[in-house]
Structure 1
Amino acid sequence: MKNYAPALLTALLLACVPPCAAQEAPQAAALSGYYDKAFGYYMAGDYAKAIEQWNIILRADPKQITAKNMIDEARQKMAGSSGSLKSGFYALMEKGRYSDALIKLEALLGSDPTNPDYRKLQASLRRITAVTPKKPAASRPWNAAAAGLSAWINEKADLPFAYDALRYARELAPSDKVFERLLALLEDEDSGLRLNDTKPATSGILDHKKELALRQIYDSKFYLAAKELEGVLRLEPQDIVALKRIGSVYLQLKDYRQARNAWQKAAGLSPEDEQLKEYLAALDTAAPAAKKPAPRKRSRR
């Protein structure tokens, strides 16, 4: 039985050309051959070659919405088959093995050479590995820097956090010039980070973030405050001030479980803190902790 799908797709594309744009019909006819090839590759499961054809179409006519949409759909299909490669890449980033992560990323690019996210990550990671091929120590400065690099080299990059993390690493180890070089790379990639920075020169990174969060709490900007404090705790999970303040934020957001967790963690670090005892007592009154269900009695037979 004949496969009429490519011809049908061509007919549909040509039918979309309005009468007033009849002069564009020759171009549409020329592109239809690429659409037919792309559709054939897509149906055969060769998504990389299908994307190549759709990219040819977009270079000829960037307004071809169908080609853009089909590239997105093909990449979603490819994500399933390349899932292990991608998870391996992010695992290597978390371990601080940046040269190995670059090799894994280039394997991902081999399956999807025109993926703009992968190509951007590759360019950034190549520059990083030229400065530091791996995390050399499990020290506080390098733990902070590694958290920043993982936030930077990510499809959902958090560059403001990466900037804070690398500056905190430099703050902890000012004699280590690697952090200065990494910061220069990041500022070169996004100059807005320095331009939009509000930190006073005399203030430490974490102190500034906690102070900024406090002002946001006073202004009832609780979600913004939570983001700042979560950033502090990603870098210093045992920061008591950040734990106390984020507990207050969660309380305002009526997330009592999170508030209790934050204050209990802070109380474990500072058991003599009377303020924390008051906070937890008030929380127990306002929102008692859920009791565990009593164990079921075994019936006798």
Structure 2
Amino acid sequence: MRIFFISAAVFLASVSLCPGADDIGALYNSAVKNFSAGKYSDAIRCWQRILEIDPEQVPPHKMIEFTRGKIKQELAPRVQAFEKNMQAGKWFIAHDAACRVLDIDPAYPGLAEKKDKLGEIAGIVEDCSGSGKVPVMLRKSVNAYFDKNPALMFDAAIYAEQLNKDIALGKKISALLFYMEKKYPEARSRVKLIAGMDLMKQMLQSSLDSIYKADYTGAIMFCDRILALDENSTLALMRKGSAYYALNNFNEARKNWQLALKTDPKNKDVKKFLNLLDRKKKKNGGKK
């Protein structure tokens, strides 16, 4: 900081005899005041304006570089706080962290849009940082919303609503779904629900039905939707492996069956499937 103010003083002295010195001097004073107040973006704009008036000026280049470094240094913990709270489902706190970042750098890439969206989400559900299935599904849904993945967004939110037993939270989930439906009406219309069956069970049944119909690509699609909600779904991994096996994609079949075995090490059916692949490989002379 001491070096900065010495440079400022030298600069002001140097411009006193320059054409338009009054304008440049006023801009430089504004830059120093903004910098001292932590308004770094405003300070940078002042120095950029100085360069527009007199491109030959040297100090503003150094000051802009120095201030951008200062911005980066001060923003790092704030951006980390935003991302951490965002992933944790602490959306009101994350929104506040985003506002603090934008106070320093209003042009921070992509954050203004995220802040606005998060403000709308936090207005419906302030916090969803619990460890139960419902909070986990809601976090998946909101993260999918920010990732522009409406299919997963609706799957997770609908499943959360089906699992939820809390009346107060249920009203918030319904409001969140209503908000999402207004954003992506077509995506919501593609989610067909069966009465008396939650979405997870419905998709597991659909994956099995697809296999019976020899629609193996469709079975894989349903399994992928299930695994997006629960990556440890043994049944989804088993059926996905079976679909790949039917498509003669034995590498993917083995990969999914091995993952299924990790989720359920005592599963006899999965062991049989893997033994079948081993026998097939041996019969083919070791080729996969």
Q: Confirm or deny a common fold (TM above 0.5).
A: yes
Residues 82/138 of structure 1: CA separation in 2 closer, same or farther (3 Å cut) = same
**Superposition CA RMSD, Å:** 3.9
What is the distance in 2 between the residues matched to 1:230 and 1:44?
52
The alignment status of 1:219 with 2:212, answered yes or no, reads no
The alignment status of 1:149 with 2:142, answered yes or no, reads yes
- TM-score normalised to the size of structure 2? 0.60
Structure 1 gap ranges (5+): 1-33, 48-77, 289-301
Aligned length: 217
Q: Percent identity?
A: 19
Residues 89/229 of structure 1: CA separation in 2 closer, same or farther (3 Å cut) = farther
Residues 205/286 of structure 1: CA separation in 2 closer, same or farther (3 Å cut) = same
Once the 2 structures are TM-superposed, how far is the Cα of residue 135 of structure 1 from its aligned partner? 1.6
Alpha-carbon displacement from aligned partner over 1:175-220 (angstroms, at most 9, x marks no partner): 3322112111111222223222233344321123234444565324
- Are 2:254 and 2:274, in contact at CA under 8 Å, matched by a contact in 1? no
- TM-score normalised to the size of structure 1? 0.57
What is the distance in 1 between the residues matched to 2:138 and 2:130?
11
The alignment status of 1:158 with 2:158, answered yes or no, reads no
| Correspondence 1:114-193 to 2 at 5 A | 117-135=110-128, 137-152=130-145, 154=146, 156-174=147-165, 175=167, 176-193=170-187
Residues 241/110 of structure 1: CA separation in 2 closer, same or farther (3 Å cut) = same
Aligned structure 1 segments of 4 or more residues deviating by more than 6 angstroms: 43-47, 78-84
- Are 2:88 and 2:129, in contact at CA under 8 Å, matched by a contact in 1? no
What is the distance in 1 between the residues matched to 2:77 and 2:219?
36
Structure 2 gap ranges (5+): 1-48, 56-60, 66-70, 283-288
Amino acid at match of 1:157: K
What is the distance in 2 between the residues matched to 1:127 and 1:250?
42
| Correspondence 1:39-78 to 2 at 5 A | none
Once the 2 structures are TM-superposed, how far is the Cα of residue 120 of structure 1 from its aligned partner? 3.4
What is the distance in 1 between the residues matched to 2:270 and 2:127?
41
Residues 86/228 of structure 1: CA separation in 2 closer, same or farther (3 Å cut) = farther
Mark the structure with the bigger radius of gyration: 2
Partner residue of 2:39? Answer: none
What is the distance in 2 between the residues matched to 1:160 and 1:45?
47
Once the 2 structures are TM-superposed, how far is the Cα of residue 129 of structure 1 from its aligned partner? 1.0
- 1:263 aligned counterpart, secondary structure: helix
What is the distance in 2 between the residues matched to 1:148 and 1:205?
14
Partner residue of 2:259? Answer: 262
- Are 1:260 and 1:283, in contact at CA under 8 Å, matched by a contact in 2? no
Residues 261/101 of structure 1: CA separation in 2 closer, same or farther (3 Å cut) = farther
Once the 2 structures are TM-superposed, how far is the Cα of residue 264 of structure 1 from its aligned partner? 1.3
Partner residue of 1:195? Answer: 189
What is the distance in 2 between the residues matched to 1:256 and 1:80?
48
Amino acid at match of 1:185: Y
